[in-house]
Structure 1
Amino acid sequence: MFNLTATYTSPESSSPHTISLPLPAVSSTTTTTTTTPPPTTDDRITHLAKLQTSIKSLQADLNAFLTEKMEEDKVVGLAKTGKVDDAKEEENYGEEVVEAD
């Protein structure tokens, strides 16, 4: 069994956010030996389909997390300035932006 993992690190946060999903090995075997035949084409196709599903799930989880973080940042920005530039926030999200005065 393997894990598919994504880690998001923010300049504003001291701890990264990690999402990890289990990813099963190819069903026949994970290594080729003289006593065990290599995975069949069908085994590989099934494995790749599971990988694709896992990647989409991981992406959806990460997008949900980032949307939540953007909403939190919007509330903080609104509290500080009284207004939030949504287009600018989305364009620069996750980037450290230094604005000139």
Structure 2
Amino acid sequence: MVSLALMAVYSAPGVTQIFEHEIPTSNAEPLAAKQAHLTALQTLVPQLQDQVNVYLTARMEEDKGKISEKDAKEEANYGEEVVEEDA
């Protein structure tokens, strides 16, 4: 029996996260097996998307706490013209 999996890999410098769901296989007639496979994908893809979104949201919150002073200043002034005075 063949093992199938739905997988997503997030990779960034210093971190790799793998999200994986096993796709059930069927020994039914070819048409029924295809329908079962597609039904499983319709269920698993949104679950995988939810997991990735939760993970990335958590990463963004972590990164937000590590923002540099320069980046924080730029973000605070985003869209505004900032004129720096010479001393």
Amino acid in the other structure paired with 2:69: T
Unaligned runs of 5+ in 2: 79-87
- 1:44, distance to aligned residue in structure 2 (A): 1.9
> 1:10 maps to which residue?
12
SS in 2 for 1:69: helix
> 2:19 maps to which residue?
19
Whole-Å separation in 2 of the counterparts to 1:18 and 1:28: 28
Greater RCO, CA 8 A, separation 6+: 1
1:28 has 2:27 as partner: yes
Superimposed CA distance per residue, residues 39-98 of structure 1 (whole angstroms, 9 cap, x where no aligned partner): 12x432222011121111111100110000001000111xx3183739x8xxxxxxxxxx
TM-score between the two structures when normalised by the length of structure 2: 0.69
> 2:58 maps to which residue?
68
Give the greater-gyration-radius structure (CA): 2
Equivalent positions of 1:32-47 (< 5 A) are: 38-40=29-31, 42-47=32-37
TM-score between the two structures when normalised by the length of structure 1: 0.60
Whole-Å separation in 2 of the counterparts to 1:46 and 1:7: 25
RMSD of aligned C-alpha atoms? 2.4
Percent identity over the alignment is 30
More strand by share: 2
